[in-house]
Amino acid sequence: MDALIAQHVLNWLALGSIYTLLALGFSLLFGVLNVIHFSHGDVSMVAPFVALAVIQALTAGLFSHIGLWALLLALLAAVLVTGVWGVLLDWLVIRRFRTAPAMMALVATVALGTVVRELIRTFYPQGSNPKPFPSIISGSFSWGDLVVPKFSLLVIGVSAFMVVALFLLMGRTPIGMRIRAVAEDRDMARLMAINPNRIFAVTFFVATAVGAIGALFFASHAGVVRFDFGVQLGLIGFSAAVIGGLGSMQGAILGSLLIAGIDTLVQVSVPDGASYRLVFIFILVIAVLVLKPAGALGKPVFEKV
């Protein structure tokens, strides 16, 4: 029984780590741009398709099969390409809504997500069909009755590293200070010779690259990737950020762990729980919005009207 509980806890931490990587992107972008980037999940889900394309190109040329080096190169390329893709979409679309009412930016990013999904479906070979995605790492350790998959340890370890790296970036580096300055007051940042457009580009690259890592883990966890997976992944990541408090990185982590906990608990305890897990997750979101609209760690914002 103890081994079974430990197994569920491990699954919860791995799933929560994946959701954290998506939620951090939402919170980071909202904290700096004050824009809800609702297409963040769809943009992040570009990464698995880039990885598959790179793997196919490498196995057709340099490598005879999907080995460790081919896979690592494909994953790195996917993260970098997706990060640049996020910056490009900001330059093409999202930057035009920085001073617009929040509802306009929200509708624009919802539409942008649809465009991204349809581009994948149209231009990727047989893009409407699910694609098998290789396991990033296979095998497991045995510790008594507990079986510890290496993949779960990798996900938890990489996510923890990315969280620490983001906190160090934001709190201990010059670029982090510039990001916080722009988030606090763009006009004052300009007076301090900080170019907000460059900061926006850096923020979009970081947020999208972190989300791309989460999407790659999600695809490897599911063993398959589909062009519309970004909708569900984006909703869960956004919900986690809302539960914790939009703009708060600590809140994004807390919200992700809460959602992953509900997800794991429902699948374990409710008959056919995998089919109903999203119902319980969004009941939690509604409850948080009713009881504490700013989120668990969010701060209420007061405006003069």
What whole-number distance in Å separates Cα of residue 11 and Cα of residue 113?
A: 29
Confidence of residue 236 (pLDDT cuts 50, 70, 90): very high
Confidence of residue 301 (pLDDT cuts 50, 70, 90): low
Confidence of residue 304 (pLDDT cuts 50, 70, 90): very low
Identify whether 279 is part of a domain: no
Identify whether 256 is part of a domain: no
Full residue range of the structural domain in which residue 41 is found: 2-227
What pLDDT is recorded for position 297? 77
Identify whether 75 is part of a domain: yes
Nearest to 153 by CA among 140, 143, 166: 140
What lies within 8 Å, CB to CB, of 100 at 6+ separation is none
Identify whether 255 is part of a domain: no
Identify whether 252 is part of a domain: no
**Cβ neighbours, 10 Å, residue 31:** 21
Mean pLDDT of 4-20: 90
- N- to C-terminal Cα separation, the chain: 58
Identify whether 139 is part of a domain: yes
Give this prediction's pTM.
0.92
H/E stretch holding 172 reads helix 150-172
Identify whether 296 is part of a domain: no
Identify whether 301 is part of a domain: no
What pLDDT is recorded for position 213? 96
- Look at residue 58 and tell me whether its pLDDT is greater than 90: no
Confidence of residue 302 (pLDDT cuts 50, 70, 90): very low
Q: Per the structure block, which two tokens stand in for 26?
A: 């939402």
Domain count, the chain: 1
What is the distance, to the nearest Å, from the Cα of residue 284 to the centroid of all Cα atoms in its chain? 20
- Look at residue 61 and tell me whether its pLDDT is greater than 70: no
pLDDT per position as a tens digit, 134-146: 888 888 888 777 8
Residue 284, CA atoms < 13 Å, CB-side half-sphere: 23
pLDDT per position as a tens digit, 203-234: 999 999 999 999 999 999 999 999 999 998 99
